Amino acid sequence: METIDLIALRKFSKATGQPTHPEMLDARPIEHVNKIEITEEFITIEFNEVTTRYYNANEITKREWEYKYNDDPELVAAIAKVIDLSRKHLTVLPENVSCPPGCAECCSGYEPFVSTGDLTRMAEHLGMTEREVMKEYIVERPSADGYHVGWVRKVTDDVNDKCVFLMGSRSGRYYCGIYNARPGDCRDFSPIGCQDVDEDLPRTSMFTPGAAFSPKKRRKTRTKL
Ligand code: SF4
Ligand code: SF4
């Protein structure tokens, strides 16, 4: 937890002769606010922060900032404004937490890792054996701990090319062809803080995805004699 002493801020205000003003606060913690708690002495803001990219996904961590204040009414009024701003911000947050329909820039930019559990799910979904899925759709690269078996292939050898399971022919119309069975990496990929979004796409548009991905090979079903 990090603490900002607002009393120091008040001193700063005195030094400049300016009234305490919310804009002087570091508003970073309120960008992804989850919870605000106010006690007599503290305002605690709990928020999510995108820290690093981990296995192609943004890792969202919970953090807390604690604002300390005293009875200064001017300061409390300033804090109230900050809280109002954060609540307002929360109402526009859905812009950041949902992808515009049909955007799939991330399905070209990254290679999602595939765990053993993902492989089983994908094989089941595609009606193939795990060995066949590995051969056709996974670049084999087992992790040292045995958790991952590799990553999803691209349509060509170019790592910037589209994921082999990406369907649709243009931005705004893309969709995942194995959506229900997609790897955990794809499930966890967060649009919060996404730098790759196709900004030209309207978030209000809708489209119906087409046919699901159809594998080249299907597991041969045994027939009883
Ligand atoms: S599996 Fe689906 S969601 Fe994951 S990268 Fe490929 S197309 Fe995108
Ligand atoms: S907004 Fe970002 S996370 Fe969402 S589909 Fe587009 S590139 Fe992927």
Closest ligand, as measured to the CA of 113: 1
Count of CA atoms in the C-beta half-sphere (13 A) of 163: 28
Mean confidence (pLDDT) of the chain: 76
Closest ligand, as measured to the CA of 57: 2
Ligand 1 atom with the smallest distance to the CA of 185 is 4
Question: Domain coordinates of the chain in residue numbers?
Answer: 2-92, 99-219
For the entire predicted model, the pTM comes to 0.61
Q: What is the pLDDT of residue 38?
A: 67
CA of 50 to the centre of ligand 1 (A): 21
CA 222 to CA 30: how far, in whole Å? 58
Q: What is the pLDDT of residue 93?
A: 45
Highest-confidence segment of 8-17, 62-71, 77-86, 189-198? 189-198
The answer, yes or no, to whether residue 183 has pLDDT greater than 80, is yes
CA 118 to CA 149: how far, in whole Å? 9
Residue spans of beta strands (DSSP E) within the chain: 2-5, 33-38, 42-54, 57-68, 113-115, 138-140, 148-152, 166-167, 175-176
CA of 102 to the centre of ligand 2 (A): 9
pLDDT classification of 199: cutoffs 50, 70, 90: confident
Nearest partner of 191 among 100, 62, 114, 110, judged by Cα: 100
| Out of 21-25, 115-119, 213-217, least confident range | 21-25
Q: What is the pLDDT of residue 165?
A: 97
pLDDT classification of 51: cutoffs 50, 70, 90: low
Q: What is the pLDDT of residue 94?
A: 43
Mutation test residue for ligand 1: of 121, 152, 175, the one with most atoms within 8 Å of CB: 152
Q: What is the pLDDT of residue 71?
A: 58
Percent of the chain with pLDDT over 90: 32
Packed helices 73-92 and 6-16: angle between N→C axes, nearest 10 degrees: 110
The answer, yes or no, to whether residue 161 has pLDDT greater than 90, is yes
What's the rounded mean pLDDT across residues 57-68?
Answer: 67
Between residues 32 and 184, the one the model is more confident about: 184
Q: Say yes or no: CB of residue 107 within 6 Å of ligand 1.
A: yes
The answer, yes or no, to whether residue 142 has pLDDT greater than 90, is yes
Residues 128-140 have pLDDT tens digits of 999 999 999 999 9
Mutation test residue for ligand 1: of 160, 165, 190, the one with most atoms within 8 Å of CB: 165
